[in-house]
Amino acid sequence: MSPVTNAAIDDDLWSAVGDPTRRRMLDLLLASGSGTSTSLSEQLPVSRQAVAKHLAVLERVGLTRVTPSGRERLYHVDEAQLARAVAQLSAVGEAWDARLARIKRIAETIQRNKK
Amino acid sequence: MSPVTNAAIDDDLWSAVGDPTRRRMLDLLLASGSGTSTSLSEQLPVSRQAVAKHLAVLERVGLTRVTPSGRERLYHVDEAQLARAVAQLSAVGEAWDARLARIKRIAETIQRNKK
DNA sequence: AGCCATGCGCAACCATTGGTTGCACATCGT
DNA sequence: ACGATGTGCAACCAATGGTTGCGCATGGCT
């Protein structure tokens, strides 16, 4: 079954979602449907510029898309891509779970054998 | 249900597991049971010192523990803590899934109403 | 016993990244 | 027309993931 993690393939998605600030931004965007760098920064402990950089990262990996509207730039989550990211997380989690289960099973076998 | 992610509480665990090299190190440790900075670096594209730093990070958050044996320092995964980390990942994934499902449901409702 | 090889830690250094502040520019509302 | 608001750009800073080089301790082999 190939290496446990999907290796280099989606490190970009992982590292995008790996940052706590970006995770919270995604939460906020999911909760309110959309937001701008300014509106998000008001709900976060970081500056508008920091938020803007994060939005650039999220956009680069396709997790968000932007709709310029007047002088505002309205961001919203790309649901399909987020679903993909969730799948990645699940995959890694399940792989580790499987490893842990296997280890446990082996440990029990040893236990049994040395009876 | 509190904010979607578990907020600041376990950012440490997340960021430990967020690094691709560290994820692969965990994979390797799970696969072979244990390893040293040297043995791991041989199976990774980074130097022994880089691996050593990562091991320090993993040890700090409790994901690995170390057993000095002669001149070697043998690391192995702390299964309980890794299970905790997996739970974190699942939690975030499930929360996002729920959000996405809710969005979809709302979208369908709107669709239905404007019949 | 003595010696060389092996495994590790420490320090200096570099690039990237997440954060800041300050400023310039565009757009919207009165 | 003008001020307030929303963005973008640039300079700068600290932390982090990476490197190389060196010194030290321990273990195995003659």
For residue B18, give Cα distances in angstroms to A92, B22, B28, B58: 11, 8, 16, 11
Q: How confident is the model at residue A115 (pLDDT cuts 50, 70, 90)?
A: low
Rounded distance between C-alpha atoms, residue B11 and residue B45, angstroms: 26
Task: Report the distance from CA of residue A33 to the C1' of nucleotide C29 in Å, as an integer.
Answer: 26
Residue B12: its pLDDT value, please? 87
Of the partner residues B4, B14, B20, the one whose CB lies closest to the CB of residue A11: B20
Cβ < 7 Å from strand D, A residues 38-67: 38-39, 48-49, 52
* Measured CA angle at A50 (ends A49, A56), to 5 deg: 90
User: Which tens digit of pLDDT belongs to each residue from B41-81?
Assistant: 999 999 999 999 999 999 999 999 999 999 999 999 999 99
In the structure encoding, which two tokens stand for residue A100, read together?
Answer: 């842990």
Contacts of A7 in chain B (CB under 8 A): 24
Inter-residue contact A81 to A63 (CB < 8 Å): yes
User: Which tens digit of pLDDT belongs to each residue from A40-77?
Assistant: 999 999 999 999 999 999 999 999 999 999 999 999 99
Tally the C-alpha atoms within 13 A of residue B36's C-alpha that lie toward its C-beta: 10
Percent of chain A with pLDDT over 70: 91
CATH of A9-114 among 1.10.10.10, 1.10.1030.10, 3.30.420.40, 3.30.390.30? 1.10.10.10
Residue A76: its pLDDT value, please? 96
Residue B1: its pLDDT value, please? 54
